[in-house]
Amino acid sequence: DGGITQSPKYLFRKEGQNVTLSCEQNLNHDAMYWYRQDPGQGLRLIYYSQIVNDFQKGDIAEGYSVSREKKESFPLTVTSAQKNPTAFYLCASSVDRVYSNQPQHFGDGTRLSIL
């Protein structure tokens, strides 16, 4: 079955540590996205990538970094510079909008907590 896999489901970080969240998709989608969800709020865009080896900052990119070395993979690193990293992180992918309006499909998320 095609889909988006995020791992791990739960992640704990100590103060001052960087952590990397994994996102893999086998939908053959060109575009991939990272969102953050906080309680009572909608999803906010952290980074997106429309093609391999290219990515752009979203609305709340400070304290985060990404890479896109393969079409299937878009890992997110939460750095120690992110002052409030506790949140639910969601990865999504979609067909490139240039061709048609197609929905983004989401993984099941990673919940990151600070120890």
Q: For other proteins, which residue of 45, 52, 60, 61 counts as binding (CB under 8 A)?
A: 45
User: With binding defined as CB under 8 A, does residue 16 bind other proteins?
Assistant: no
Cα torsion 84, 9, 31, 37 to 10°: value is -40
Stretch of residues binding other proteins (CB under 8 A), selected from 13-21, 66-74, 77-85, 103-111 = 103-111
CB nearer other proteins, residue 81 or residue 108: 108
Q: What CA–CA distance (Å, rounded) separates 92 from 12?
A: 22
User: With binding defined as CB under 8 A, does residue 8 bind other proteins?
Assistant: no
Q: Which of 114, 110, 94, 115 is nearest to 37 (CA)?
A: 110
How many other C-beta atoms can be found within 10 angstroms of the C-beta atom of residue 36?
23
Provide the β-strand partners of residue 89: 36, 110
Binding footprint of other proteins on the chain (CB under 8 A): 4, 6, 9, 31, 33, 40-45, 48, 50, 58, 90, 92, 94, 96-98, 101-109, 111
